[in-house]
């Protein structure tokens, strides 16, 4: 019976989770460097200093995506579940976004175009939803729920054929206590050009607390795309011979523009298992 209730809740609510173990400093550092190496920072996102890690779950197709993973257009047409988890340090901050039940969150996704492209008028917004709320917290597993209608309902990637690998960037922001949704985009808007800097300034947001991205390419590239480089986690200050990417799981490694993949965690599937066990017992 409880399993039925749990599954029904997943169908009715947009859900985000914080995994049962804090994110390791190394995993956060690798994601941050990947955003830089992929020319997302500062070209698309002016500043990115995450205090946790996000993972997208396209449950009926690809399951969990690694940060920077190349995917096919048809596998990311549905709205994903978003898992986020903070570092131990972030969770310990009094009044911080990982341990306070009064904070609300905004999740958005933008098409960052290809690395090295010029986009002076902004980027296409594919998803925007405000007022995610802090839900249950069980051994670091925090569920963010919302019944608020999206400002921009999720629209899957649709890069022009031959344009190269487009970067689809997901960001999570902690909303200020006095948050008022900016007047644009209006409720129910479709995919349209979006100025991230203007929106976050109007919303009085700080930097995103977590983020992730994947790439989609349709057809062989017939345009020049900037070459990006891999992230070697062993060169990062957070690396030690015994350090791992996710507080006890597999070490994180980055790939080049051909793959841009990194194993975020071998243990993220445990989130779903943990949730099912929790609601069963």
Expressed as residue numbers, the domain containing 14 is: 2-280
- pTM (2 d.p.): 0.80
| Secondary structure letter of residue 44 according to DSSP | T
Asked if the model's pLDDT at residue 2 lies above 50, the reply is no
Closest CA to 150 of 100, 121, 109: 109
Cα-to-chain-centroid distance, residue 227: 23
Cα distance between the two ends of the chain = 11
Which of 165-169, 237-241, 255-259 is the most confident on average?
A: 165-169
In whole angstroms, give the CA distance from residue 175 to residue 51: 15
Is the Cβ–Cβ distance between 182 and 196 less than 8 Å? no
The CATH number of residue 7's host domain is 3.90.280.10
Asked if the model's pLDDT at residue 78 lies above 60, the reply is yes
**What is the average per-residue pLDDT within 43-55?**
93
What is the pLDDT, as a whole number, of residue 17?
44
Residue 199: which pLDDT band, with cuts at 50, 70 and 90?
A: very high
Residue 12: which pLDDT band, with cuts at 50, 70 and 90?
A: very low
What is the pLDDT, as a whole number, of residue 244?
57
In whole angstroms, give the CA distance from residue 167 to residue 44: 10
**What is the average per-residue pLDDT within 38-55?**
93
Which of 16-25, 101-110, 153-162, 255-264 has the lowest average pLDDT? Answer: 255-264
Q: How many domains would you assign to the chain?
A: 1
**What is the average per-residue pLDDT within 141-168?**
87
Asked if the model's pLDDT at residue 265 lies above 50, the reply is no
Which of 56-65, 69-78, 210-219 has the lowest average pLDDT? Answer: 56-65
């Amino acid at each position: 019976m409880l399993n039925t209730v749990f599954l029904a809740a997943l169908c009715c609510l947009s859900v985000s989770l914080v995994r049962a173990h804090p994110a390791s400093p190394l995993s956060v550092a690798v994601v941050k460097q990947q955003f830089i190496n992929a020319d997302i920072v500062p070209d698309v996102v002016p500043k990115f200093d995450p205090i946790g890690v996000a993972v997208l779950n396209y449950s009926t197709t690809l399951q969990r995506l690694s940060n920077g993973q190349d995917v096919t257009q048809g596998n990311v047409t549905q709205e994903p579940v978003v898992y986020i988890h903070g570092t131990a340090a972030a969770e310990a901050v009094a009044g911080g976004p990982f341990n306070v039940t009064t904070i609300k969150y905004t999740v958005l996704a933008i098409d960052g175009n290809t690395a090295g492209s010029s986009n002076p008028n902004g980027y296409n917004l594919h998803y925007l939803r405000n007022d995610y709320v802090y839900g249950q917290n069980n051994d670091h597993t925090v569920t963010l729920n919302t019944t608020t209608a999206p400002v921009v309902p999720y629209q899957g990637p649709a890069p022009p054929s031959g344009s190269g690998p487009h970067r689809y960037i997901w960001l999570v922001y902690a909303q200020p206590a006095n948050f008022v949704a900016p007047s644009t985009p209006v409720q129910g808007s479709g995919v349209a050009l979006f100025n991230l800097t203007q929106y976050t300034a109007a919303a009085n947001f700080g930097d995103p607390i977590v983020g992730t991205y994947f790439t989609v390419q349709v057809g062989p590239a017939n345009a020049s795309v900037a070459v990006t480089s891999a992230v070697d986690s062993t060169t990062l200050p957070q690396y030690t011979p015994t350090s791992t990417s996710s507080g006890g799981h597999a070490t994180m490694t980055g790939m080049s523009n051909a793959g841009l993949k990194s194993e975020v965690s071998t243990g993220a599937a445990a989130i779903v298992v943990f949730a099912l066990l929790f609601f069963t017992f």
